[in-house]
């Protein structure tokens, strides 16, 4: 069997002495959308940080067969990963357009960068209206769109999204997921999405995992995850 | 009140003197701010590193190197020293917390101060003159009596400040390096996940700060006429005050803060005779405290705009 695009095997991660991930296995196939569910504090954010080399990690994280553990973050990002951090993390004192340019940090194709900026302005017209404004002054929804567009400016093979719907109105969340679906379909960008809104995420993802206390307790197709009794009680509330 | 209060030449002399000193404080404040913006550290050795740079200029000119070439060489060496210290000393300590870093910069202060005294002695040496500083090197404005003139040194110091501000603006606002630096300053973690080599931006900030400091110290020495191992001691305090006044993370704030401080310290003792000149440090600190009471973030500091 061919190896998946992203393959985590027996991953352990710790902040200082406190081990947060305890032997986690997970994979994302080429072009696939995978959702990672779990209660607060389960270790979802830490999983994404472990992939990007932002927390002390043991075990194996491979992207297209290449080992990422032990590499500095900037190197991992250069391999084609974009990370949209939890709480958005836009550069508040930079303009909207400068935020997008930072997203293209590893690219050299000036014309292509400009074309992509215009492209995301087309997808998120609110950003176009505010291109010269400081990102810190925008609403939560606008900042989230900027964070996603900024991540995609790097033309990643794999997009990591940490709770993209956090703090967004329902209608904006739906629009955001519609955009993500289109990006996945048209550019075959693979995605690993951490999401509280399990129902919405599972309607879009091909497969899902449930994380509990630092290891995977359930994994399968979106339907399997949705159909699981314990899962329904814990995360879907019916 | 001073008896000279209605004398235009006297007032203009206070003005140029205040602006000249203020420009020097501004240069030191810029150095402090450029380090602080990305790393959130205050380098207490900033002034001593600058003194070392000025002595490098002195040593080179003594060996026959033309003074501006000597400044250029010292500028580059200082950049390397600043960047190297960040990488080799500050970053390994940073993991242990802020306090070890403060102690390290304090230790650097003492070591460099003592090192300069050991190598070049404790007696003042004649300062190199990058700007012609003779009696006749001035522009006469009012023939008087009393006359008013502006020295080339004053003009030169202000020109250097303007040129550096312009250069910094171009570097920070118009280059990719500057974009990366500002991104790290705005949000270190987000910058890291964009693939920006964050550590190199720290080194860049420390390096450019050290280079600016050397230029400042060379000019401080020229305005004072002499250079010694304690030349930058009090200037560092004024630089810190100017940076605080401007709002610790603002480049234009550092420049304005320095100039305002220079002017206040020229005019207050100059107009009110009760205030003795050697109270200038007190005046500086009072101004800073008053501004901070009204605007805790300083004149130009960023109020956090992020909404949650
Ligand atoms: N920087 C940190 N230092 C120490 N502990 C942390 C840090 N970040 C998270 N943790 C701890 O790690 C655990 C998992 O956190 P996280 O990965 O953020 O969970 P989730 O994203 O699933 O809510 C939590 O118990 C949290 O308290
Ligand atoms: Mg989280």
What was the ipTM of the complex prediction? 0.88
Strand extents, DSSP E, B92-135: 125-126
Highest mean pLDDT (candidates A102-116, A138-152, B119-133, B225-239): A102-116
Answer whether residue B171 shows pLDDT above 70.
yes
Asked whether B205 and B150 are in contact (CB, 8 A), the reply is no
Asked whether A196 and A87 are in contact (CB, 8 A), the reply is no
Answer whether residue A190 shows pLDDT above 60.
yes
pLDDT of residue B1: 60
Looking at chain A, the domain(s) classified CATH 3.40.50.300 span 4-80+157-236
Asked whether B78 and B214 are in contact (CB, 8 A), the reply is yes
**What pairing do the DSSP bridges indicate for beta strands A6-15 and A18-28?**
antiparallel
Q: Which residue of A has its CA nearest to B95?
A: A16
Which pTM does this prediction carry? 0.88
- Measured in whole angstroms, how far is the alpha carbon of residue A161 from the centre of its chain? 2
Answer whether residue B134 shows pLDDT above 90.
no
Q: Does A87 touch chain B (CB under 8 A)?
A: yes
Q: pLDDT above 90 covers what percent of chain B?
A: 56
pLDDT of residue A174: 85
| Cβ of residue A38 lying under 6 Å from some atom of ligand 1 | yes
Which residue in this structure is represented by tokens 């472990």? A50
Taking the centre of ligand 1 as the mean of its atom positions, its distance from the CA of residue B306, in whole angstroms, is 22
pLDDT of residue B151: 87
Q: Does A167 touch chain B (CB under 8 A)?
A: yes
Asked whether A90 and A150 are in contact (CB, 8 A), the reply is yes
Taking the centre of ligand 2 as the mean of its atom positions, its distance from the CA of residue A83, in whole angstroms, is 13
Each residue's pLDDT tens digit, A25-67: 999 999 999 999 988 889 999 999 999 999 999 999 999 999 9
Each residue's pLDDT tens digit, A91-101: 999 999 999 99
Each residue's pLDDT tens digit, B210-266: 999 999 999 998 888 889 998 898 899 899 999 988 888 889 999 999 999 999 888
Q: B197 vs A91: CB contact, 8 Å cut-off?
A: no
Taking the centre of ligand 1 as the mean of its atom positions, its distance from the CA of residue A43, in whole angstroms, is 6
Asked whether B218 and B74 are in contact (CB, 8 A), the reply is yes
What is the Cα–Cα distance from B139 to A168, expressed in whole angstroms? 64
| Cβ of residue A210 lying under 6 Å from some atom of ligand 1 | no
- Taking only residues 23 to 52 of chain A, the set having a beta carbon closer than 8 angstroms to any beta carbon of chain B reads 52
DSSP state, residue B132: -
Q: Does B191 touch chain A (CB under 8 A)?
A: yes
pLDDT of residue B305: 35
| Cβ of residue A20 lying under 6 Å from some atom of ligand 1 | yes
Interface-testing mutation among A15, A49, A73, with chain B (most B C-beta atoms within 10 A): A73
Which residue is closest in CA terms to ligand 1's atom 4?
A15
What is the Cα–Cα distance from B171 to B180, expressed in whole angstroms? 11
Interface-testing mutation among B247, B306, B307, B308, with chain A (most A C-beta atoms within 10 A): B306
Average pLDDT value for residue range A129-152: 91
Q: Which fold has domain A4-80+157-236?
A: Rossmann fold (3.40.50)
Buried b (16+ CB within 10 A) or exposed e, A93-114: bbebbbbbbbbbbbeeeeeebe
Q: A92 vs B305: CB contact, 8 Å cut-off?
A: yes
- Measured in whole angstroms, how far is the alpha carbon of residue B225 from the centre of its chain? 18
Question: Which residues lie closer than 8 Å to A10 by C-beta, 6 or more apart?
Answer: A23, A24, A25, A59, A60
Each residue's pLDDT tens digit, B82-123: 999 999 999 999 888 888 999 999 999 999 999 999 999 899
Asked whether A55 and A14 are in contact (CB, 8 A), the reply is yes
CA of B295 to nearest chain A CA: how many angstroms apart? 19
Helix (H, G, I), strand (E, B) or coil at B13: helix
CA distances from B143 to A37, B147, B156 (A): 82, 5, 22
Answer whether residue B23 shows pLDDT above 80.
yes
What is the Cα–Cα distance from B85 to B95, expressed in whole angstroms? 15
**Given CA atoms B176, B84, B255, B75 in this order, what sign does their dihedral have?**
negative
Helix-, strand-, coil-residue percentages of chain B, each rounded to 5: 70, 5, 25
Q: B190 vs A85: CB contact, 8 Å cut-off?
A: yes
| B30: number of Cβ within 10 Å | 30
What is the Cα–Cα distance from A228 to B2, expressed in whole angstroms? 88
Each residue's pLDDT tens digit, B54-87: 999 999 999 999 999 999 999 999 999 999 999 9
Point out the ligand nearest to the CA of residue A214.
1
Interface-testing mutation among B175, B186, B199, with chain A (most A C-beta atoms within 10 A): B186
What is the Cα–Cα distance from B115 to A22, expressed in whole angstroms? 52
Q: Does B293 touch chain A (CB under 8 A)?
A: no
Structure tokens at B288: 């800073």
**Structural domain boundaries of chain B?**
24-232
Taking the centre of ligand 2 as the mean of its atom positions, its distance from the CA of residue A90, in whole angstroms, is 17
H/E run at residue B82: helix B67-85
Q: pLDDT above 70 covers what percent of chain A?
A: 95
Taking the centre of ligand 1 as the mean of its atom positions, its distance from the CA of residue A33, in whole angstroms, is 24
Structure tokens at A74: 């900037």
More confident residue, A68 or B9: A68
Average pLDDT value for residue range B47-51: 94
Query: ∠A38-A205-A184 over CA atoms, to 5°?
Result: 130
Q: B186 vs A106: CB contact, 8 Å cut-off?
A: no
pLDDT of residue A165: 85
- Taking only residues 195 to 234 of chain B, the set having a beta carbon closer than 8 angstroms to any beta carbon of chain A reads 195-198
Q: pLDDT above 70 covers what percent of chain B?
A: 95
H/E run at residue B178: helix B176-186
Q: Does A109 touch chain B (CB under 8 A)?
A: no
Which residue is closest in CA terms to ligand 1's atom 10?
A15
């Amino acid at each position: 069997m061919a190896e998946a695009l992203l393959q985590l095997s027996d991953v352990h991660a710790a902040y200082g002495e406190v081990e947060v991930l305890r032997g986690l296995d997970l994979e994302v196939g080429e072009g696939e959308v995978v959702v990672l569910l779990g209660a607060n504090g389960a270790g979802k954010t830490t999983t994404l940080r472990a992939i990007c080399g932002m927390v002390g990690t043991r075990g194996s994280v491979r992207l297209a067969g290449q080992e990422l553990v032990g590499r500095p973050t900037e190197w991992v990002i250069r391999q084609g990963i974009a990370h949209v951090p939890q709480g958005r993390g836009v550069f508040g004192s930079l303009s909207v357009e400068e935020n997008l340019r930072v997203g293209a940090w590893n690219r050299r194709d000036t014309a292509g960068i400009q074309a992509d900026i215009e492209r995301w302005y087309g997808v998120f017209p609110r950003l176009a209206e505010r291109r010269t404004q400081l990102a810190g002054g925008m609403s939560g929804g606008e900042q989230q769109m900027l964070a996603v567009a900024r991540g995609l400016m790097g033309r990643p093979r794999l997009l990591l999204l940490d709770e993209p719907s956090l703090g967004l109105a329902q209608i904006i969340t739906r629009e955001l997921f519609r955009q993500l679906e289109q990006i996945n379909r048209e550019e075959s960008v693979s995605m690993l999405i951490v999401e509280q809104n399990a129902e919405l995420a599972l309607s879009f993802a091909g497969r899902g995992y449930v994380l509990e206390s630092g290891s995977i307790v359930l994994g399968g197709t979106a339907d399997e995850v949705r159909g699981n009794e314990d899962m329904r009680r814990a995360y879907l509330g019916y | 009140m001073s008896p000279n209060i209605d004398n235009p030449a006297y007032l203009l002399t206070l003005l140029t003197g205040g602006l000249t000193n203020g420009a020097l404080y501004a240069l030191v404040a810029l150095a402090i701010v450029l380090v602080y913006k990305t790393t959130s550290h205050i380098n207490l050795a900033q002034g001593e590193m600058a003194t070392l740079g000025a002595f490098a200029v002195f040593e080179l000119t003594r060996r026959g190197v033309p003074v501006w070439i000597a400044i250029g060489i010292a500028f580059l060496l200082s950049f390397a020293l600043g960047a190297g210290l960040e990488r080799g000393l500050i970053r390994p300590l940073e993991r242990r917390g802020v306090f070890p870093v403060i102690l390290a910069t304090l230790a650097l202060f003492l070591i460099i101060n003592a090192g300069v005294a050991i190598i070049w002695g404790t007696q003042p040496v004649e300062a190199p003159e990058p700007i012609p500083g003779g009696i006749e090197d001035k522009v006469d404005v009012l023939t008087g009596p009393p006359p008013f003139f502006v020295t080339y040194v004053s003009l030169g110091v202000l020109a250097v400040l303007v040129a550096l501000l312009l250069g910094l603006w171009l570097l920070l606002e118009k280059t990719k390096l500057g974009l990366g630096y500002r991104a790290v300053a705005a949000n270190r973690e987000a910058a890291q996940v964009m693939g920006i080599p964050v550590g190199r931006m720290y080194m860049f900030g420390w390096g450019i700060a050290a280079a600016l400091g050397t230029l400042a110290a060379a000019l401080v020495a020229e305005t004072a006429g002499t250079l010694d191992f304690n030349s930058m001691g009090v200037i560092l305090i004024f630089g810190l005050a100017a940076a605080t006044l401007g709002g610790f993370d603002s480049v234009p704030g550092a420049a304005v803060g320095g100039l305002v401080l220079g002017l206040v310290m020229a005019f207050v003792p100059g107009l009110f005779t009760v205030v003795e000149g050697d109270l200038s440090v007190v005046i500086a600190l009072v101004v800073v405290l008053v501004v901070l009471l009204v605007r805790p973030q300083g004149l130009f500091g960023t109020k956090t705009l992020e909404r949650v």
